[in-house]
Structure 1
Amino acid sequence: MPALFDGPSPTTWLGIDMGGTGTRWVLRGAGGAVLARGEGPGATGLVFSATAEAAFRAALAPAAEAVARFGAAAAVLGVTGAGLDPDAALVALCAEALGLPAARVRVLNDMVLAWHAAFPAGGGHLVAAGTGSVGMSIAEDGTITLVGGRGTLIDDAGSGAWLALRALDRVWRAIDEAGSPRGVEPLAQALFSRIGGDDWDDTRRYVYGRDRGALAALAPAVAEAATAGSAVALHLLTEAGAELARLARVLVARCGPAPVGVVGGVLGLHPAVGEAMRAAAPGISLTVLSLDAAARAAELAQEGTRTA
């Protein structure tokens, strides 16, 4: 990557991976040693309200405490919802929240960071299925191809939030038709236990009063119901796998044959997701990856200052 920061050689670098359900950070010292790491609440780079800004600042607060203790000469953040082009306002907000000069802060889309963590030498495609779903590939010349990732209101098919909304739709349609969740009882029970009640007002407040991270937190209920024998829940998980396979197929079709890495909590919900994804992506090499994106972000911050 090109040089990210100007200034003297640093001794400490900060990396942050912010998702909708959690924010992970790593503080890297000389020689690559990890001085500290931790987690905070999730947030999004779609900071278009006072509430969203407060959540964003809260997500960065634990990392800011580490910076205050250890110092940090530079930071790279991967932020869900951030655009592919530089956003001066978002950089300024991150810099202020972390107590760093804006010139030493770089904000990436979280998928760009994940891709660099998955393929540090290049040459692959990445599909992520967590709170949302998206596919990405970066060519040798830096051209980014992004598929999916349009949020719960438009798509995010196969994601945790998508699974939760599809499951709630099935349950409430059953209640509409029978006056009770007849035929989808295990799914209803698993969902309502997490929502905190089985009344429509409980669902309404949960869905419309919270963010997509809270929606994704309902996805394990679908897996729980499938394990308990719910055919509807199992079908939804299979649909999720097929939707994720679509992202892999589109990337290969548009960007050329290459290994496809798959990341995100949805793949760990139930074996049916991975089985369906592989079945719907014949001839494509799929590998489930476990990434330390925050550590990679700290490494990128160090590489940027080293080449400045």
Structure 2
Amino acid sequence: MLSPLHRGVTTYIMRSFKLPEFCKVVEREKITVAYIVPPVALALAKAPVVAQFNLSSLRFMHSSAAPTPKEIIVAVNDRLGVPVRQGYGLPEAASGVCSQRLKAWDETIGTSGRLIRGMMAKLVRDDGKEVPTGSEGETCLKGPNIFKGYYHNPKAAAESFDSEGWYHTGDVGRVDEQGNIYITDRLKDLIKYNGLQVAPAQLEDILLGHAAVADVAVIGLYSDERATELPRAYVVVAAGYTGDEKFGEMLQNWLNERVSPHKKLRGGVRFVEAIPKSNAGKILRRVLVEQAKSEKKQEDAVKARL
């Protein structure tokens, strides 16, 4: 759907996303700026169909809704020659918090940029104390665009703000020396392995760097035997590769060689046709958690019959 914003500027809003149609629109309408989500960036980096279109009109793309892995941003730029910058926002902040400057997009790839004017942020530990620069913590916000509370839900509102009025986002992040904010994961998505935290997004970023991985999601699978969560990867294999047991073991070992001991894929690798995601491109981990539970029941039933 085309709609004029003001004289000389036209926007195109797709009713639903299909990669060939997206590329066709960019080529036909000579689109100069595209606002995308991480799954679109992934497709632009790896899908063969992209090579059939001329996307040279694009001056830059803006990715948000979830962190876009550094490897994917680099891959998109290498393939299309288009800068990809990121931003961070949420409905409770109406809705922008920070944005990467276009001129500096390749200086700090992976960052969501610096705070917009009027916004304040701090990163805290579980006990509410601020973490030092470079360390990860929960992102807390203050500013004129922060909401007052949840409609008809005072309990949720009270739980979201601390005594000093900081809104606790539930997003894990860190800040570098230049004030750039990196959003790394959701607090509730963190995997706890023997008391140590494992960020699924970090493992996903590494796995996406493998040529055989078209898409991936990592979840924590609770093990009764070990009394802890074990990281497990659900992988969509790229064209030309076969997702069998041998390949799964190879991919698991490949990842394990690149991470700290507590971040190893002790829950193994499973292959799926597609990663479940919301319309905004966020991974629906709860769907995979339920799938993992179902798989475990089936495995236990097989063992019981042996």
Q: Same fold (TM over 0.5)?
A: no
TM-score by length of 1: 0.26
- Structure with higher RCO (Cα < 8 A, 6+ apart): 1
In terms of fraction of residues, the more helix-rich structure is 1
More strand by share: 2
Normalised TM-score (structure 2): 0.26
